Each structure stands twice: as C-alpha cells, then as structure tokens.
Amino acid sequence: MALSDFALRRAKPREKPYRLSDGDGLHVLVQPGGSKLWQLRYKHRQKENILSFGKYPIVTLADARRKRDDAKRLLSEGIDPAAKREADKRAAEAAAETTFGLVADEYLERMEANGAAASTLSKNRWLLKDLAKPLSKRPIAEVSPAEILAVLQHVEKSGRRETARRLRGTIGGVFRYAIVTLRAKDDPTVPLHGALAAPASKGRAAITNERELGRFLRALDEFDGWPTIGAALKLLILTCVRPGEVRGAGRSEFDFDKARWRIPAERMKMRRPHDVPLSRQALAVLSDIWPLSEGSELVFPSIRTKDRPLSNMAFNSALRRMGFSKDEVTAHGFRVTASTILNSRGFDPDVIEAVLAHRDQNAIRRAYNRASYWDQRVELMQQWADLLDEFGRRRNPTKRLGATP
C-alpha cells in the first residue's frame, strides 16, 4: 500500500528498526531513535542492493518517489544507480579540486615544454599567478564570465588597459587548455570580447635625440643602485637586444676570446639563435660585473637569489630612480634609440635590421643576412659603442660607457 505524509508523520519508533513500504522497492526505514530514512531495494545483475535517498521530511515523499523513478530508469538501461552516484560524487570532488590555479600551472609547464621564451614564460606567469590570483582557488568548471570581468576591470581601472586585454587572452588560453583536457566545457572569456576599453595606441618611450641620450648616459654612469642592474642596463644599450635577453643571459653564452654572445633560440622572440658582437665597451662591462655572479649560471642574477634573473621590472624601476619618467624612456625603448640614431647617421639599414634581429620576410635575404652580415655587425656595434662614448663625453670628458663609475 502506498504511503502518505499523514502515515509517515504518525509512524512511531520501536525497539528495532522497521520498514514502511511505498511500493516498487521504495520504503522508509524507521530507526529506534525516531529518524526515518528513505531507501530503495533493487537488483542489478542478480545482486540485491540498497540505495539511500536521505531522511524524511527533508526528502519529501514526492522527492523520494522521483528519485526512485530516476533509479529505475537507470536500471532499465543496465546502469547501477548506486555505482553511478559514487562515480558522480568522485567526479564532483575531482572538479572541485581542479582549480584554475592548478590548470594554469599545467598551462605554463606546457608552454615551457613547447619551447616558449623565458621572457614569455615570465610574463605569462606574472599574469596568471599575480593578476589572476583571485581565480586561483576556484574550480575551473565553475568560473563565470562575471568573475573574470571583475579581475580584468580591476587591472583596467589601474590604467593598464593593454595589460588587461593581454590578461583576458592568457586566461582564455588556460580555459582552452582545460577544454581539450576535458576539465571545462567552454571558455568564459569569449563573451568578454569588447568588454574592455581599447588601449591607447602608443609606442614605447625612447630617447632619439643625441644630446638627450648623452644626458641619460651620464646619469647612468652616476647610478648608485645595485651594480648588477647598472651593468645590465649598459649592456642592454650597447648590444641593442631586448631587455629579457639581457636579464636571462647565461654565463655560458659568452665567448670573451671571440667577443661574441650567442643567445639560444629558446630565449629569442623569433625562436632562432642570435649572435651578438661584443664591442670593447661591452666586454669591459662584462669583465667588471663577472665576479659578482660567481656561483650562478646567470650573468645578472636577482638581488635576492642567484638562481633567478633580475625581475622584469628591474630596468624600468632603475630608470625611474634615475629621474626619468615612463614617458621619457623605457627599457624596450633603447632598441628604438639605436635604430633611429644609426639610421639618421646613414648606416646600412640592412645591417641595422640584422643587429636588431628583426625577421626579414624574404627567406633568401634572411638567410643571406645571417650568413653575410657578421663582419658588418661587428663593425657597426663598435661604432655604436664609440658613438655612445662620444655622446656621454660631450659634457663629461672623463666618462665612457664601458668604464666603472
């Protein structure tokens, strides 16, 4: 006979547990303490099992019947409802443990395994570990577009529009990785396209006036901060490479006898090795700073530990300390400085492009440039270093860029 709420409420406990049947395997188990537990007795593959649905009246009579019907449908498909419940529980627990931070770590590891440059890894690690930190402990399958937008808008309101847009793309990369590894169903950054203000189009601040460059070089000679940073800035200007390539420079990359710095492909933006001629001034900078990195694989290790390179903020922080604003000069801007001044003085544009390691779109020219411009680059880098000395001496005849302050 089917149960009713009236009968369930009136059921009194006894000395031993007893059952009140509702039919089709569903019953209430009344415990001596008075609790009433819904259970379903069923058979699967000739084995009898019991599935619990919860306590009455938290689980109502109608709820219990619906759960019974759902279990019967699974049985009709050959599925054990108890086994499915356990599997669903484990999947939910795994999903809760699969946080955004965990998948982001895997994403970064995959980038590194695929040969991403150290500068790219550092930038993505900063975006995901620092700026996206509010998402780190959230189950990745539960992160909503609104949560991501809040993180992005926080960055945007600080004035870093381009960083906010880059952060959205990087977070999207983590979700796309989660999708292909079956830990997320969609990318919640997709609806956010157009939600952020477009960054103001502005090139990197750079000194392109020779007199102003001379003023800067004299200030750099007087730099009283950590000597590793001052030396790294000097090498950055003398070699025309990217800041990340200087910060991550390894001691094994330098050949003093051949006056050559060989930057491996994995540390280059264009993923091909780049040989840098070292002028007399560049060699002097390296010789002065070399003893300070003894015991490290890096030429310019961090102030805090020799196992890590200088931070990606070290150069620009030093420039601000020297009194130069972000609108006057940035670390990336020194390549613009060299290109502008050397071109204005009539040096060969093809050699300048080879110095800057720009990728020629013509494959034949690209191969020719790498093979044939070494001697010209050696000469140009020495001429550039001599020009820098000249700019710096215009008001201070005793200083040269490769000299120790």
Task: Report yes or no: 352 and 376 within 8 Å, Cβ to Cβ.
Answer: no
Q: Which of 148, 197, 208 is nearest to 172 (CA)?
A: 148
Report angle CA 19, 21, 25 to the nearest 5 degrees.
Answer: 110
* Dihedral sign (CA 57, 61, 65, 68): positive
**251 and 298 Cβ atoms separated by less than 8 Å:** yes
Counting DSSP H helices and E strands in the chain, the numbers are 16, 7
Candidates 41, 55, 368, 393; catalytic one: 368
Indicate if 373 belongs to the active site.
no
DSSP code at position 326: T
Q: Rounded CA gap, 217 and 213, in Å?
A: 6
356-259-235 Cα angle (round to 5):
50
Catalytic residue among 27, 65, 183, 335: 335
Out of 85, 161, 308, 332, pick the active-site residue: 332
Catalytic (active site) residue 332: yes
Task: Report in angstroms the alpha-carbon separations of 251 from 248, 254, 270.
Answer: 10, 6, 22
Per the annotation, the verdict on 160 as an active-site residue is no
Annotated catalytic residue, options 27, 234, 242, 377: 242
- Interatomic CA distance for residues 151 and 185, integer angstroms: 21
Is 65 one of the annotated active-site residues of the chain?
A: no
Q: Which is the catalytic residue, given 358, 370, 393, 399?
A: 358
Chain centre distance of CA 155: 15
Which residues are CB-contacts of 176 (< 8 A; sequence separation ≥ 6)? 187
Candidates 108, 128, 112; CA nearest to 171 is 128
**358 classed as catalytic:** yes
Q: Which residue is catalytic, options 85, 160, 269, 306?
A: 269
196-to-49, 135, 152, 207, 399 alpha-carbon distances in Å: 56, 19, 8, 31, 48
Q: Beta partners for 50?
A: 41
What span, in angstroms and rounded, lies between the C-alpha atoms of 183 and 169? 19
Q: At what angle do helices 161-180 and 145-157 cross, to 10 degrees?
A: 150
Residues with catalytic function = 242, 269, 332, 335, 358, 368
